[in-house]
Amino acid sequence: MADAGTTRLNSLLTQCVKHGASDLHLTPGLPPYARIEGDLVPMPNEAVLVPEDTATLSKTIVQLVKASEESLTLKGAIDGALTSPDGVRFRFNIFKRQNELAIVIRQLEERFRSLSELGLPESLHSLSDLRDGLVVVSGPTGAGKSTTLATLINRINQSRKCHIITIEDPIEYIHKPIKSVVNQRQIGLDAPTFNDALVSSLRQDPDVILVGEIRDLDTIRTAITAAETGHLVFTTLHAGDCVSSIERLVSVFPADEQDGIRRQLSIVLRAIVAQHLLPSCDSNQAGRVSTSEVLMVNPAIANLIASGKSAQIYSSMEAGSAFGMQTLEQDLARLWVTGRISEITAVGTTRNVSVLRDRATMMRTRRPTSVMSAGGMR
């Protein structure tokens, strides 16, 4: 028979699914909060949580997933994944705050979605056909980076006879082998760090490696080396656009290494996709809409990366639609002109309001059929 902690946890997870919430926040002194269509709102008919409530729920989660409480004690936080009785998977983070415990739980999708469903260009399918190099998906937390990578990895799994290794914290999407052999490793359970898992993966005959996130010098260096040595490496990065993603990768290295890293990136980098989720104003498309910036590295862009001429990359992207490229302003203008997002949202997201308005004016002068439509994401 389930104890009170398990019963309470299951009830909250069930409500999370019922209300279509992407995230659940459990904080002492507040009722449970859910993120629904991008907004964080209190869950209906729920009492304010006290520290004992979150402590009990934390203990229940730790016991359910057989995690070690030592990490929570030493580091102040613990990550993992769990499955509700209904079979829905969730990612959790338990953390200390003011000597109390708080919990954030994110609902994970089981179904792999198409690029069109995600509101991303179909041209990104070409990234699954690459044989080597580095592909980066960037954006803020909650922008759908993991979902995009899962879609690309699933396409490889369906079409290629190869070995795919994923390194994640925690594992979000389960990839059952179809045509590929797939091995998924979770940080904290199967390997101590991203870099340790990435280094060992190079001895495991991989063709494709997914690194959940690269944020430290050693992991970035190893990812570049893996891409140089004939592997296709996918990863995510917290950066707002394509050029800032390049600068973020370079800036991690000591100053005396940065010129060399730029040259290496110019050789191994294949593409950067920077994405954001924005509130929809389309009555026919509830939830949020994805907007993206796409950089495909061709010889001209590679030369700009190697020479550190980042400011010139945007003009090459604007002229590179034939190669599947687009700037954030171009995509924001498309969504605004087609009524998918409001002017306020577009202006609040863009880097350059005048460029955004110019691109929107250009699109309005074209025939309506020339403006693409795209899907959305919760």
pLDDT tier at 368 (50, 70, 90 boundaries)? low
- 142/101 same-domain check: no
Looking only at the bridges linking them, the beta strands covering 163-168 and 181-186 are: parallel
pLDDT of residue 282: 74
Burial of 335 per CB tally in 10 Å (0-12, 13-18, 19+):
buried
Looking at residue 37, what is its pLDDT? 83
From 107, 139, 158, give the residue that closes a domain. 107
User: Residue 2: its pLDDT value, please?
Assistant: 64
Domain count, the chain: 2
Kindly state whether residues 36 and 173 are assigned to the same domain.
no
Mean pLDDT for 77-103 is: 91
* Beta carbons of 214 and 224 less than 8 angstroms apart: no
Angstrom CA distances, 147 to 143, 178, 350, stand at: 9, 19, 23
Place of tokens 């509130």: 279
Say what the pLDDT of residue 188 is: 82
Both 279 and 325 in a single domain?
yes
Q: If you average pLDDT over residues 77-95, what whole number do you get?
A: 90
Q: CA geometry: angle at 248 spanning 243 and 194, to 5°?
A: 125
Is residue 375 predicted with pLDDT exceeding 60?
A: no
Tell me the Cα Rg of the chain.
22
Owner of token pair 């299951």: 10
**Domain end residue (candidates: 51, 77, 107):** 107
Q: Is 191 left (phi over 0), alpha (psi -120 to 50) or beta?
A: beta
Mean pLDDT of 238-267: 96
Same structural domain, 100 and 33? yes
What pLDDT is stored for residue 374 in this prediction?
43
| pLDDT for 82 beyond 70 | yes
Helices first, then strands: H and E counts in the chain? 13, 14
Q: How far apart are CA 349 and CA 278, in angstroms?
A: 9
Q: Is 105 helix (H, G, I), strand (E, B) or coil?
A: strand
CATH number at residue 337: 3.40.50.300
pLDDT on residue 284: 67
User: Residue 330 corresponds to which tokens in the numbers above?
Assistant: 């171009």
3-state secondary structure of 153: helix
Please report which confidence band the pLDDT of residue 225 belongs to, taking 50, 70 and 90 as the band edges. Answer: very high
pLDDT of residue 1 exceeding 90: no
Distance CA 80, CA 174 (A): 14
At 194-223, the pLDDT tens digits run: 999 999 999 999 999 999 999 899 999 999
Read off the pLDDT of each residue in 183-192 and give the average, rounded to a whole number: 92
- Beta carbons within 8 Å of 238's beta carbon, 6+ residues apart: 138, 139, 140, 141, 213, 215, 248
Phi, psi dihedral angles at 272 (to 5 degrees): -130, 130
Are 86 and 179 within one domain? Answer: no
Instruction: Specify the residue for token string 């495909």.
Output: 296
CA distance 252 to 224: 13
Same-domain pairing of 71 and 134: no
User: Could you tell me if 329 and 242 are in contact, meaning their C-beta atoms sit under 8 angstroms apart?
Assistant: no
Q: What residue type is 340 in one-letter code?
A: R
Is residue 39 over pLDDT 50?
A: yes
Residue range 143-172, pLDDT digits in tens: 999 999 999 999 999 999 999 999 998 898
Residue 112 lies in a domain: no
CA distances from 67 to 91, 103, 167, 185, 204 (A): 13, 15, 18, 15, 26
Is residue 116 in a domain? Answer: no
Parent domain of 62: 4-107
pLDDT for the residue 219: 97
Give, for 104, the enclosing helix (H) or strand (E). Answer: strand 100-107
Same domain for 202 and 227, yes or no, is yes
Q: Locate tokens 């980042």: which residue? A: 310
Mean pLDDT value of segment 347-352 = 95
Q: What percentage of the chain reaches a pLDDT higher than 70?
A: 95
Q: Write out the two tokens for 81.
A: 């994944």
- Residues 154, 87 share a domain: no
Name the residue type at position 185: R
Give me the pLDDT at residue 377, please.
Answer: 43
Hey, which of 30-34, 76-80, 277-281 has the most confident mean pLDDT? 30-34
Q: How far apart are CA 6 and CA 131, in angstroms?
A: 46
If 0-12 CB within 10 Å is exposed, 13-18 middle and 19+ buried, where does residue 372 land?
Answer: exposed
Q: Left (φ > 0), alpha (ψ -120 to 50) or beta: where does 99 sit?
A: left
What confidence category does residue 347 fall into, taking pLDDT thresholds of 50, 70 and 90?
A: very high
